[in-house]
Amino acid sequence: METTTQPEAEHGEHNDDHSHGHAEQSFFTKYIFSTDHKVIGIQYGVGALVFLLMGFILIMGMRWQMAKPDTPVPVLGPILEKVYAHEIALDGQGKTVPIFKDGKITASGYNQFGAMHGTIMVFLAIVPLGFAAFGNYVVPLQIGAPDMCFPRVNMASFWAFFAGCTVMTVSFFIPGGAAQAGWTSYSPLASVIPTDGQTYWLVGMVLLITSSLLGAVNFIATIIQLRAPGMTWFRMPFFVWAQFVTAFLLLLAFPPLEAAGIMQLMDRVCDTSFFLPSGVFASGTEPMNVSGGGSPLLWQHLFWFLGHPEVYVLILPAIGIVTEIISNNTRRPIWGYRLMVGSLLVLGFLSFIVWAHHMYLTGMSSKVATFFQTTTMIISIPSVILLTCLFMSLWRGSIRFNTPSMFALAFLPMFGIGGLTGLPLGFNFTDLHLHDSYYVIAHFHYVVAPGSIFALFAGIYYWFPKMTGRRMSEYWGKVHFWGSLIFMNIIFMPMFIQGFAGMSRRMSDGGATYSMINNPDVTSGALTDQVMSLNSLITMGAFGMGLVQIVFIVNFFWSIRNGEKTNSDNPWKATTLEWQTPTPPPHGNFLEQPKTYHGPYEYSNPDVDNGKGFLAQNDPHKSVSEEQKEAEA
């Protein structure tokens, strides 16, 4: 029984009742200032992908610098120097340092690229893509709603995001360049650094946080209020649950960072001392002329109070996407759906009380450190439960190996590596050695890069047919997959080794200052040649990764027009509601409000005998024989 192929007449009658929605919309209200969640989702998605690329380009520049410290960047170096060289990073009083010099990235430029790489990847790429783009597009469809609860607030949220992105991008081109104090913007450095780029960063963050807060309110209200009849809480696809918890994390965790951002802005603009301790020297021989009495640790607490839930915001939508794709491509229900939902809720709650594990080395007392260590260990349990349930969902599955499912399957071990390598960081005593080393970089990149990003790629390949009616090329998708998988591991696995050897983060010369070659009289602790040589390997991996992404970009754009057309609205033969609509879904999503009869993963149910191998959520009939009985009755 299909609700998707209603005859045109019904469609026409149905719409006469509505006062808005089907009047002719101008180009602007239809594509630019649209309140339709699908358009907004695509806007977020395209924007996020652009920034994903931009963040990647920044890190490629940095990796070049690390592998070949005093070599000009090939081809682009002289060009960038002309474009960028007239912006000079101020360095104290009157001394200036260029960002590009002779085609080489200077240390100041490296810092800027580093700070902005982190900011852009986290706040302008992954969160908008995972939460805002996929969430906006898919969640209303999956719960049977005609749109989000507050469509105009949704649009406002996108344009606030756009404004924040503009401010962040513009900050590169102002005198002094962009922010330099790391994506964490620690005071006192961030409060005293004279470049305006740091202020722009704060303003951009306030705009982005506002956008996320509006979006979070929208998501939660939509999921609570707009579920279609029959769509009970435990019939919702897991992806919707993941977005629900993510929205709560954003709602409750972002405001402290906004407050902290306002305070740091006041430190910079109004000379307050929220985060500046007494007697702080910025440069020169006299202490700064501020009141003092502030606490740099206050910034750290407020930042990481957001920072920890933020990393769950990065991973939960990804886990949601992977769940959908795994269930669909194994043709069996998820193992432990309710257990996974419970774990999700516990994870959400616990994520608020673990933040100081980012601050073990700040001199906190052992009582407090013990508390955070304990909660950090406890929070690993729900994460493991989620991963285990997903692994168990493969058992006895009839696995289809298409591009989305391969990305989703690869997510599992990659996220596993990322999670397991987090354990030494969660313990105070091992973190002593590993804090701020390359081990940390490897750990979080494993979770986010071959973790979240793979899931997001999977989502793009998976939902592309619903958005456009065409498939992306399977062959080139698999090339993209294998290339990304191999190069991701080449890039990040050696970083664990570098971290164990003690190589610190944020060193623009790739650790050369501390290498054995440059410190021949140091007997222990210097970085060995093998460790240093890994830099080149990693950089080559990074460039390889870049090449493979070109494949993806071309595939994406080419398939929009020329991809293989799907002949049905449900090419993956999925059960969830978004596949039971026309392709692409019209304004209002469903021709008539769907009624839900079953759970979200009714694949290969032996009691179901409809010849299809799956039972769509809104399909009132379970079996052919039932239908016959009804026909006779």
Partner 1 sequence: MEIPYYDKERPDTGLYNGKAGIWLFLASEVMLFGALFSAYVLLRVGAEPGTWSMGLMNQWVGAFNTLILIASSATIVMAWVCLKLNDWKGFRKWKWATVIFAFTFLVVKWSYEWPAKFTHYDVTFVTEESASKVYTDVLGPEFSETQSKIWQERFDPLKKDQEKSPLAQVKLKDKPLDGHIVGYIDSDGVEHEVGAAWGIPFWSHAFAWRHDRKNIEKEKDKSIRYGEDGRPVYKEGHFRDTFRDKDIKAIIFVPAHGTWDREEKHAGSGAIKYAEAKHDAGHAHSEGHGHTITIAREDISRLSSYEPAHSTFFATYYTLTGLHALHVLGGILVMLYHLLPVSRRVYEKNPVQFTNRIEITGLFWHFVDLVWIFLFPILYLL
Partner 2 sequence: MSDEHSPEYYKKKFIPLIYLVGGILIVGTIITFAADKMGIAERWGFVNAIIFAMSVAVVKASAVIYIFMHLKWDIKLKTISLTLGCTVIFFIGMMWLTVGSEIDSNKPGHSDNTWNHVTEPEPETAPETK
| Contact residues: partner 2, CB under 8 A | 295, 297, 301, 352, 356, 362-368, 371
Shortest Cβ 505–partner 2 spacing (Å): 23
- CA dist 201 and 311 (Å) reads 20
C-alpha 347, offset from chain centre: 17
Shortest Cβ 17–partner 1 spacing (Å): 8
Q: Could you tell me if 305 and 252 are in contact, meaning their C-beta atoms sit under 8 angstroms apart?
A: no
Q: How many CB atoms lie within 10 A of CB 279?
A: 8
Which one of 5, 23, 28, 94 is in contact with partner 1 (CB under 8 A)? Answer: 94
Which one of 2, 11, 12, 18 is in contact with partner 1 (CB under 8 A)? Answer: 18
CA trace torsion 580, 585, 590, 594 (10° rounding): 20
Which one of 216, 344, 442, 527 is in contact with partner 1 (CB under 8 A)? Answer: 216
Q: Should residue 588 be labelled a site residue for partner 1 when binding is judged by CB under 8 A?
A: yes
Indicate the residue among 294 and 419 with the shorter CB distance to partner 1.
294
Shortest Cβ 408–partner 2 spacing (Å): 36
- CA dist 83 and 81 (Å) reads 5
Shortest Cβ 93–partner 1 spacing (Å): 7
Q: Should residue 293 be labelled a site residue for partner 1 when binding is judged by CB under 8 A?
A: yes
- CA dist 141 and 38 (Å) reads 9
Kindly provide the residue ranges of all beta strands, DSSP E only, lying in 435-522, ordered along the sequence.
Answer: 470-471
- CA dist 572 and 404 (Å) reads 11
β-pairing verdict for 104-105 and 100-101: antiparallel
Shortest Cβ 373–partner 1 spacing (Å): 22
Q: Could you tell me if 102 and 108 are in contact, meaning their C-beta atoms sit under 8 angstroms apart?
A: no
- CA dist 421 and 553 (Å) reads 31
Residue that the structure tokens 């020297």 belong to? 281
Q: Should residue 294 be labelled a site residue for partner 1 when binding is judged by CB under 8 A?
A: yes
Indicate the residue among 174 and 353 with the shorter CB distance to partner 2.
353
Please, which residues bridge with residue 481 across strands?
A: none
Q: Should residue 30 be labelled a site residue for partner 1 when binding is judged by CB under 8 A?
A: no
Run of H or E including 273: none
CA distances from 589 to 19, 98, 140, 467, 592 (A): 16, 53, 8, 12, 9
3-state secondary structure of 105: strand
The region of 112-120, 270-278, 360-368, 433-441 touching partner 1 under the rule CB under 8 A is: 270-278
Cis bond before residue 229 (omega within 30° of 0) = no
Q: Should residue 93 be labelled a site residue for partner 1 when binding is judged by CB under 8 A?
A: yes
Indicate the residue among 158 and 304 with the shorter CB distance to partner 2.
304
Indicate the residue among 245 and 501 with the shorter CB distance to partner 2.
245
Residue 168: both structure tokens together: 């962040």
Shortest Cβ 21–partner 1 spacing (Å): 4
Residue 606 touches which member of partner 2, partner 1, none, C-beta under 5-8 Å by kind: none
Residue 239 touches which member of partner 1, partner 2, none, C-beta under 5-8 Å by kind: none
Residue 386 touches which member of partner 2, partner 1, none, C-beta under 5-8 Å by kind: none
Q: Should residue 20 be labelled a site residue for partner 1 when binding is judged by CB under 8 A?
A: yes
The region of 55-63, 272-280, 432-440, 485-493 touching partner 1 under the rule CB under 8 A is: 272-280
Shortest Cβ 373–partner 2 spacing (Å): 13
Shortest Cβ 77–partner 2 spacing (Å): 46
238-269 and 134-143 are packed helices; what angle lies between their axes, rounded to 10 degrees? 140
Residues 122-151 as x/- pattern, contact with partner 1 by CB under 8 A: ------------------------xx-xxx
What region, left, alpha or beta, does residue 145 occupy, with left being phi > 0 and alpha being psi -120 to 50 degrees?
Answer: beta
Shortest Cβ 492–partner 1 spacing (Å): 34
Indicate the residue among 118 and 588 with the shorter CB distance to partner 1.
588
Cis bond before residue 584 (omega within 30° of 0) = yes
Q: Could you tell me if 603 and 333 are in contact, meaning their C-beta atoms sit under 8 angstroms apart?
A: yes
CA trace torsion 526, 529, 535, 540 (10° rounding): 180
Q: Should residue 345 be labelled a site residue for partner 1 when binding is judged by CB under 8 A?
A: no
Radius of gyration (C-alpha) of the chain in whole angstroms: 26
Residue 278 touches which member of partner 1, partner 2, none, C-beta under 5-8 Å by kind: partner 1
Burial of 224 per CB tally in 10 Å (0-12, 13-18, 19+): exposed
Which parts of 52-91 interact with partner 1 (CB under 8 A)?
86, 88, 90
CA distances from 416 to 307, 345, 357, 383 (A): 21, 20, 20, 9
Indicate the residue among 40 and 456 with the shorter CB distance to partner 1.
40
Q: Should residue 23 be labelled a site residue for partner 1 when binding is judged by CB under 8 A?
A: no
Residue 548 touches which member of partner 1, partner 2, none, C-beta under 5-8 Å by kind: none
CA-wise closest residue to 621 among 575, 606, 613, 630: 630
Q: Which residues contact 521 (CB under 8 A, 6 or more apart)?
A: none
Indicate the residue among 238 and 299 with the shorter CB distance to partner 1.
299
Indicate the residue among 233 and 475 with the shorter CB distance to partner 1.
233
Indicate the residue among 26 and 524 with the shorter CB distance to partner 1.
26
Indicate the residue among 130 and 296 with the shorter CB distance to partner 2.
296
3-state DSSP helix/strand/coil % of the chain, to nearest 5:
65, 5, 30
Which one of 253, 344, 417, 531 is in contact with partner 1 (CB under 8 A)? Answer: 253
Q: Should residue 39 be labelled a site residue for partner 1 when binding is judged by CB under 8 A?
A: no
3-state secondary structure of 99: coil
Shortest Cβ 52–partner 1 spacing (Å): 27
The region of 18-26, 38-46, 324-332, 540-548 touching partner 1 under the rule CB under 8 A is: 18-26
Q: DSSP character for 32?
A: I
Shortest Cβ 220–partner 1 spacing (Å): 5
Q: Should residue 260 be labelled a site residue for partner 1 when binding is judged by CB under 8 A?
A: yes
Q: Should residue 288 be labelled a site residue for partner 1 when binding is judged by CB under 8 A?
A: no
Binding site for partner 1 (CB under 8 A): 18, 20-22, 86, 88, 90, 93-94, 96, 146-147, 149-151, 153, 175, 213, 216-218, 220-221, 224-226, 251-256, 258-260, 262-263, 266, 269-274, 278, 289-295, 298, 301-302, 305, 587-588
